[in-house]
Amino acid sequence: MLQIENLVKSFDNKEILHGISLNVKDGEIFGFIGHNGAGKTTTIRCAVGIIPFESGKIQIDGRNILDDPIWCKSVTAFLPDNPDLYENLTGIQYLNFIADIFEMTAETRMDKITAIGRELEIYDSLGDQIKSLSHGMKQKVALISAFMHDPRLLVLDEPFVGLDPKASFIMKNKLRELCDNGGSVFFSSHVLEVVQNLCDEIAIIRQGSIIMNGKTEEILQSGESLEQIFLDTENIAS
């Protein structure tokens, strides 16, 4: 579903990503972990077409993001680490904006917004101005916008930050549900326990390079927790 090959990205002549390669398969939840400033967010922002890159290739469902950005974006949903939404709009105005962009019919959007909104317990606040919402509530509005158009690929940057335990639980279920229906999820997180329990495949990035990548059970076969493995890789590198 998402293929990243030899991705190189620089900022002001400083190379940040040194040839990243990853492959998120259909029906798979892919966890992406690394220390602060390792290059997770930059990789994600390149993958969803937010920032350009110097070299490499990114394909979503077989189509190149550079050649066919609109198609790639139409099958993808992205959630950034901090949901900076349009603060002056109400939740429902923002969701209608996204629904219009994704060409959702009036009936479908109503059903989806109602269902996901009630599930995440944000429905009653959708008429409120976004700037009046807490961080977690904004995150929930952003989650509805991501799920409501049935994306085939969901890319999330630190999705569990700010969510209450129930919303986190619902989101994990929804991620699994999306994958069971053939979709894929690629997300970064510092919550290693969630990554360990939820992901089919994991990659660890350090200073712009992938230092470990594989099936979760293969990585964990030594019996150590993901946290211990991650800390070991950090120690070896330093």
Partner 1 sequence: MKRMLTLTKTQLLNLFFQSRSGKKSKIPPIVISCLVMFGLSLYYSWIFADMMETQAHAVPYMVSILGTVIIFMSGISGSQGMLFGFKDYDSLMALPVTERDIVTSKIVVYTFMQYLYSFFLVIPAMLIHGYRISASVFYYFRVILCFLPFPLLPMVLSALIGIAFQKLTAGKRYGKLLQNGLTIAFIALVYYFSFSFGASAGSGQPGMQVGGIAAFLPSAKWYVEGVINADIPKLLLLFGIGIAVYVLFILIYSRTIIRVTAQGMQGYHVANFRLKKVKRAGSLGALMRQEWQRYFNNFTYFLNTSMGMIVLMIMSIYVIFIDNPIKDLITELMIERGDVLAKIWQTFILAISCVGSMTCTTGVSISLEGKSLWILKSIPADVKEIFLAKIMVNVILIMVPSTLSLLGLGIAFHLPLLYYIVGIVMLAATALFISMLGLLINLRFPKLEFDREVVVIKQSLSAFLSIMIPMFLAVGIMILFFITNMEYFYWIMAFFIAADLILVFLLLKYGTERFRRLA
Residues that bind partner 1 (CB under 8 A): 45, 48-52, 69-74, 76, 78, 80, 82, 84-90, 92-93, 96-107, 109-110, 113-114, 117, 123-133
CA distances from 238 to 67, 69, 156, 207, 232 (A): 39, 38, 28, 11, 10
CB 77 within 8 Å of CB 154: yes
Nearer residue to partner 1 within complex by CB, 133 or 192? 133
Q: Residue 87 CB, nearest distance to partner 1 (Å)? A: 8
CB 113 within 8 Å of CB 125: no
Nearer residue to partner 1 within complex by CB, 125 or 188? 125
Nearer residue to partner 1 within complex by CB, 117 or 213? 117
- Furthest CA-CA distance within the chain: 55
Strands 184-188 and 29-34: parallel
Q: Residue 174 CB, nearest distance to partner 1 (Å)? A: 19
Q: Residue 187 CB, nearest distance to partner 1 (Å)? A: 15
Q: Residue 229 CB, nearest distance to partner 1 (Å)? A: 31
> Which tokens in the block code for residue 81?
């680490």
Nearer residue to partner 1 within complex by CB, 130 or 229? 130
Q: Residue 236 CB, nearest distance to partner 1 (Å)? A: 32
Q: Residue 124 CB, nearest distance to partner 1 (Å)? A: 5
Burial grade of 121 (CB within 10 A; 0-12, 13-18, 19 or more)? middle
Strands 184-188 and 14-24: unpaired
**Whole-number Å distance between alpha carbons of 5 and 186:** 15
Nearer residue to partner 1 within complex by CB, 100 or 232? 100
Nearer residue to partner 1 within complex by CB, 90 or 189? 90
Rounded to 5 degrees, φ, ψ at 97 are -60, -50
